[in-house]
Amino acid sequence: MLLVVLLLSLVTPGLSLTCYVCSSSATNAECNNNNTTQVCQAPQDICMTIVDTLGNAKVISKLCSSEATCLGASSSSTIDASGNGNSVNCCNFNLCNFSGAESLHTHTALLLLTGAVLLLLSR
């Protein structure tokens, strides 16, 4: 029964989106620790995670956003070779931004590793 409810919450269109929300947390765990969620109101239809990094300092914010705003912020986000910069992650199913902050770095590392392996295999 729980599985059916979970699946319906992920695929049923027209229902409100629920996102984790926090402001200026130092870690993803701290951000999620208070278990604060928000039901997004139209036109907010995306969960957005923003990670600002400068040296060892990190600031994580999670919020409801419109798709246009999130995709615009994501397309202009940059991280330099030292890992400093701004990352934006957009997702659109209930509570999809639980691990958004940590997954940004994991996905970047996997992408780089995959690229390196493909480069080696192509030689």
Q: Burial-class residue 67 by CB neighbours within 10 Å (0-12, 13-18, 19+).
A: middle
Class of domain 15-121: mainly beta
| Residue 61 structure tokens | 């914010």
Q: Has this prediction a pTM greater than 0.85?
A: no
- For residues 22 and 62, the answer to whether their CB atoms sit within 8 Å is yes
Q: What is the pLDDT of residues 25-56, one digit of tens each?
A: 999 999 888 789 999 999 999 999 999 999 99
Q: What is the pLDDT of residues 69-87, one digit of tens each?
A: 999 999 999 999 999 999 9
- In the prediction, which pLDDT does 8 show? 40
